[in-house]
Amino acid sequence: MGQFIFDLMAEGDYENIVFCQEKTLGLKAIIAIHDTTLGPAAGGIRMWPYASEEDAIKDAVRLARAMTYKNAAAGLDYGGGKIVIIGDPKRDKHEGMLRALARFIHRLGGLYLAGEDVGTTLEDMVVMRQETPYIVTVPESMGGPGDTGFATAFGVFQGIRACLNEVYGSPLPQGRSVAVQGIGSVGKALVKLLVEAGADVTIADIDAERAHALAADYHVIVASPAEIHALAVDVYSPCALGAILNDQTIPELRCKIVCGSANNQLAEGRHGEMLVESGILYAPDYIVNAGGVISGVDSLHPGGFNRQRALDKVAYIYRTMGVVAASAKTQSISTARAAAILAEQRITMIRQVKMI
């Protein structure tokens, strides 16, 4: 196991992997820190019933690296990291576990700045904040951004507008068809933004009751979760879990644009090239879903959190996605590769600045 971990760290050039356990409280967690060239690692806390410890480690490092690229491309002075807790959030999560993890985070002395993610909530962050100030996504009453779902959705909406402009010559969603897969806090907010902008929206969610309730609120169409990706639409927006773009699904796509909030949508790097070959414009997930972290770290501003300032920064995703699309076209590379180059160039530049 040890050799596997060091090989994994060397392959992606990770700085730290910290294992945390408190058996009386049932805590088993992994803190993965990928790169802190730009500043302290900023990332969420994910809780998931992983099939094995190896799966949990691989997920942690994969997500941590994506956070490095997300923060770099968003122009933030923070590195990338991710925490995963092994367990079922519906059954295993409790106050003692959360507070114990918060104390482990506190031991890092600010090297890791944490927020909510899949399996954790704003309420969980309030509990953890009792043990450490290094929890950044807390309610506005505590100086934080509150629920960052809208900020993430707003960023994806800007990404969709940029992609529409690239493909159709206009950023207006009015009259365009969009299929949204997953209507959690981000997907639900995105549906609202799209409907208000005049788009024709179809939704799908594994929770059928939730999907039909949202459909009644916004008069949108409900599709099967197994078929949503294959609909003939202008935009397919995956807002659930990752690896949705793979050998099986890509040949089934009938859209011109893929732009959603789900992390790590490409099952493998080569799938970015497959999308190019299919004539589909892919919005790299960490480019367009950065709204949450942008909003979260705004609370670290000396003057405290300012919602309008945070959303102004999130709106900049429109320009960033435009730069990525233009760069991919100019260099005849995939947007996935163009986004990586953008992030890597900024990290290299800051590393050179810090040598002075």
Angle at which helix 185-196 crosses helix 208-218, to 10 degrees, equals: 20
User: What does the pLDDT look like over 325-344, one tens digit per residue?
Assistant: 999 999 999 999 999 999 99
User: What does the pLDDT look like over 341-356, one tens digit per residue?
Assistant: 999 999 999 999 999 9
Nearest C-alpha neighbor of 94 from the set 24, 185, 43, 31: 24
What would the mean pLDDT of 1-7 be, rounded to a whole number?
77
The architecture (CATH level 2) of 149-291+317-344 comes to: 3-Layer(aba) Sandwich (3.40)
Helices (H), 13-148: 53-73, 95-107, 122-129
CATH of domain 12-67+79-138: 3.40.50.10860
Question: Could you tell me if 159 and 288 are in contact, meaning their C-beta atoms sit under 8 angstroms apart?
Answer: yes
Active site residue 70: no
Q: What mean pLDDT value characterizes the chain?
A: 96
pLDDT of residue 4: 85
Q: Where residue 104 falls among pLDDT bands split at 50, 70, 90?
A: very high
| From 82, 93, 188, 313, the catalytic residue | 82
Q: How far is CA 18 from CA 9, 84, 128, 343, in A?
A: 12, 11, 18, 25
User: What does the pLDDT look like over 197-252, one tens digit per residue?
Assistant: 999 999 999 999 999 999 999 999 999 999 999 999 999 999 997 889 999 999 99
CB burial of residue 73 (10 Å; 0-12, 13-18, 19+)? buried
Q: Where residue 302 falls among pLDDT bands split at 50, 70, 90?
A: confident
Residue-range domain boundaries for the chain = 12-67+79-138, 149-291+317-344
Q: Which residues contact 179 (CB under 8 A, 6 or more apart)?
A: 201, 202, 203, 204, 223, 228, 229, 231, 233, 235, 236, 237, 255
Kindly tell me the sign of the dihedral angle through the C-alpha atoms of 188, 285, 243, 327.
positive
Q: What percent of the chain has pLDDT over 70?
A: 99
Reply yes or no on whether the pLDDT at 1 is more than 70.
Answer: no
What would the mean pLDDT of 24-38 be, rounded to a whole number?
98
Q: What are the residues facing 32 on neighbouring strands?
A: 17, 82
Q: Where residue 259 falls among pLDDT bands split at 50, 70, 90?
A: very high
pLDDT of residue 355: 92
pLDDT of residue 3: 66
pLDDT of residue 241: 78
State the SS3 of 201-259.
EEEECCCHHHHHHHHHHHCCEECCCCCHHHCECCEEEECCCCCCECCCCHHHCECCEEC
pLDDT of residue 285: 96
Name the pairing type of β-strands 41-48 and 79-86. parallel
What are the DSSP calls for 86-105, one per residue?
ES-TTTT--HHHHHHHHHHH
Neighbours of 53 (CB within 10 A): 13
User: What does the pLDDT look like over 132-191, one tens digit per residue?
Assistant: 999 999 999 999 999 999 999 999 999 999 999 999 999 999 999 999 999 999 999 999
pLDDT of residue 337: 97
